[in-house]
Chains A and B, each alone.
Chain A
Amino acid sequence: MAAGDKRSDASSDGEAVLEVDHVSKAYELEGVTVHALSDVSLQVRRGEMVSIMGPSGSGKSTLMHIIGLLDHPTSGQVVIEGEDVGRLTPNQLAQLRNRRIGFVFQAFNLLPRTSALANVELPLVYSGVSGANRARLAREALERVGLGNRLGHSSNQLSGGQQQRVAIARALVTEPSIVLADEPTGNLDSRSGIEVMAILQQLNAEGITVVLVTHDPNVARHAQRVVEIADGRIVREEPVKDRRSAADELANLPNAARVAAEEAPAT
């Protein structure tokens, strides 16, 4: 696939990894046209951590699906790494998802009865990385999220927080342009949630672009910038003034809670 020209955005400090340009999405639901997104424009720069925040039904899931190349906009353009994805076939989109996007879902979405290592290897399987390399890359990704000692555990032997960390490792392993995290803490107890946020912040500090989709203002404040969305439109877009640091919060939690969280069963 053509790499495309890497456009740099003069008005910001980094080049744009993702550009959403006047995107609208409408669909028919029982004869009524629903406008899930109306004229949404958004830019994400390389190395940024952005939250897309809004209540349920605001259109943030639709926006996430469009950014994640799982859905087509009705009108407007989506450009990833300078490449307009509008005219790509489903198979080309699958390849682009594989290379450019790393997904972290609320419900983890790991393969059941499959080891952590095999789950993390999955995107590499589809990008054609050979066996030995695959295992090595997957192991490295799991080590980055602190699961180097859980490689052989299958997903149902892991706690919710651990499962989400496996999912993050899976999102990382292809070195994508964007890690797209959809309510990553939604199914977790508060401590595991903070741990997951700490990992995302840590990865962002290492240079990975993170787009966080959430309804929770407290979670959204882990990012550098919050894009607020309501009724399919962007209503506010501003930098976070007092950005939360999950690592600091983790350090301030009492130890007893830590033990309880570690032993919490998977949800």
Chain B
Amino acid sequence: MNLLESFRVALRALAANKARSFLTMLGVIIGVAAVILLVSIGSGVQASITSQIEGLGSNLLFVFPGQLEGAGGPGGGGGLTKRFALEDVRLLRDRLQGVSFVAPAASGAATVRFENKTTKAQIVASDENLSQVGTYKLARGRWYRRSEVDGSARVVQLGSAVAEKLFPFTDPIGKEVTVNGQRFKVIATMQKIGGGFGGSQDTIVYMPVTTAQRLSGSSDLAEIIVKVTRAEDVDQVRAQIKRLLKPKFGDEFTVFSQEQTLSLLGNLLGTLTVMLAGIAGISLLVGGIGIMNIMLVSVTERTREIGIRKAVGARTYDILSQFIIAAVMLSVAGGLLGILIGAGGAAALKSVVPTEVTWWSVALAFFFAAAVGVFFGAYPAYRASRLDPIVALRYE
């Protein structure tokens, strides 16, 4: 019997039990769709964050306190002895050559209140140069000015989520809110950034660094942002920073470039994407077990038919190929439907989460599905092919 005949026999058998074939396929459909959808979300988020960071401009340097080993990432400095203070910003600002600006950055938690509504927010505090960083865009109003930084003015810019929460119907600009119990004047609202991790970018409130220091009672800074005027000077400026900070901090600080941040985040998000794919892969495996289950049932049901086929001349190979092809047909058809649903779902979700269907996830899911069919179809097919025709013919 040639392969074409095996296909026809397998197809006829699947068509005879349409509902069952579809339900068996459903396991693979869901598995493949999940792989494609989750990977597309992972890569979409990765791409969107990467482009956000790239939007900052390629010649930013971030100086963190603490020594960061290779790709250990910022925030790993548990036992820091020395933090940056505003005087270190001033030192760099005065001494660095070839830079556009040096800006401090501090952060903290805040409870923001307007009338009887409150919301949690993160504080990002800097000076007027933050407006040049690029990711933070105003929706309405104005950035805080240099004079307000110098005077520790109680002015605040609200992230879009904070603004929506506290001012659902009214214009917040010019209103007074309280941040951690202190009165602040709202001078601006920010554009929606969306996406990212936990959507936290929209729950930020922005204020002058001096104001934040007073609010928290601490003069510590989280990082110092340095913008190099010309991209080719980045390495040279990095060396300058190291030299300038060494007397005070020794090696207890790290200069991070845009590129490093990107590769770090890339690693992190890549790992996350692979994890998502792995989880989805498990459901594909479960789908495969479903195929095996139904193929075993089908072998039992069709024992007599196998006996007849063997009596009239079917060889082991003929029976084997008939059942394997049926299993592969189920998994491949399920794989194709899963790709359609996964890609369709990714397109539909695009308005909510950034998604990006990657060719490798499609290829991986499809071939994995086909392999699942071969693997889980093999055992039932083997059992069928080994049936003794005498026993099979007597089977009721």
Set A71, A90, A125: member contacting B390, Cβ < 8 A? A71
Contact assessment for A94 and B315 in the assembled complex, using a CB-CB cutoff below 8 Å: yes
Contact assessment for B312 and A170 in the assembled complex, using a CB-CB cutoff below 8 Å: yes
User: Please, how many angstroms separate the alpha-carbon atoms of A183 and B40 in the complex?
Assistant: 64
Residues of B near A125 (CB, < 8 A) are 1, 5
Residues of A near B220 (CB, < 8 A) are none
Set B5, B307, B316: member contacting A90, Cβ < 8 A? B316
Minimum CB distance partner of B12 in chain A: A114
Contact assessment for A70 and B305 in the assembled complex, using a CB-CB cutoff below 8 Å: no
Set B16, B304, B312, B318: member contacting A97, Cβ < 8 A? B312
Q: Is B363 an interface residue (CB 8 A)?
A: no
Contacting residues of chain B (274-331) with chain A, CB-CB under 8 angstroms:
304-305, 307-318
Minimum CB distance partner of B311 in chain A: A103
A65-B390, A111-B305, A128-B2 are contacts. A95–B312 as well, Cβ < 8 Å?
A: no
A109-B304, A113-B16, A126-B1 are contacts. A103–B312 as well, Cβ < 8 Å?
A: yes
Residues of B near A8 (CB, < 8 A) are none
Q: Is B341 an interface residue (CB 8 A)?
A: no
Q: Is B393 an interface residue (CB 8 A)?
A: yes
A109-B304, A113-B16 are contacts. A123–B390 as well, Cβ < 8 Å?
A: no
Contact assessment for A91 and B316 in the assembled complex, using a CB-CB cutoff below 8 Å: yes
User: Please, how many angstroms separate the alpha-carbon atoms of A170 and B308 in the complex?
Assistant: 11
Residues of B near A170 (CB, < 8 A) are 312
Is chain B's binding surface mostly helix, strand, loop or mixed? helix
User: Please, how many angstroms separate the alpha-carbon atoms of A128 and B307 in the complex?
Assistant: 19
Q: Is A122 an interface residue (CB 8 A)?
A: yes
Set A71, A90, A91, A98: member contacting B312, Cβ < 8 A? A98
Set A71, A98, A109: member contacting B313, Cβ < 8 A? A98
Q: How large is the interface on B (under 10, 10 to 19, 20 to 34, 35 or more residues)?
A: 20 to 34
Query: How many chain-A residues does the 8 Å CB contact rule pick out?
Result: 26
Contact assessment for B308 and A109 in the assembled complex, using a CB-CB cutoff below 8 Å: yes
A70-B389, A109-B393 are contacts. A97–B308 as well, Cβ < 8 Å?
A: no
Residues of A near B390 (CB, < 8 A) are 65, 70-71
Minimum CB distance partner of B314 in chain A: A126
Minimum CB distance partner of B393 in chain A: A109
Residues of A near B309 (CB, < 8 A) are 122, 126
Minimum CB distance partner of B2 in chain A: A128
Selected A-B contacts with CB under 8 Å, 10 pairs: A70-B311, A90-B316, A94-B316, A97-B313, A98-B313, A103-B312, A123-B312, A126-B309, A126-B318, A174-B313
| Shortest beta-carbon contacts, A-B, top 5 | A98-B313, A126-B313, A123-B312, A91-B315, A94-B315
Chain B residues within CB distance 8 Å of chain A: 1-2, 5, 16, 304-305, 307-318, 389-390, 393
Chain A residues within CB distance 8 Å of chain B: 65, 68, 70-71, 90-91, 94-95, 97-99, 103, 105, 109-113, 122-123, 125-128, 170, 174
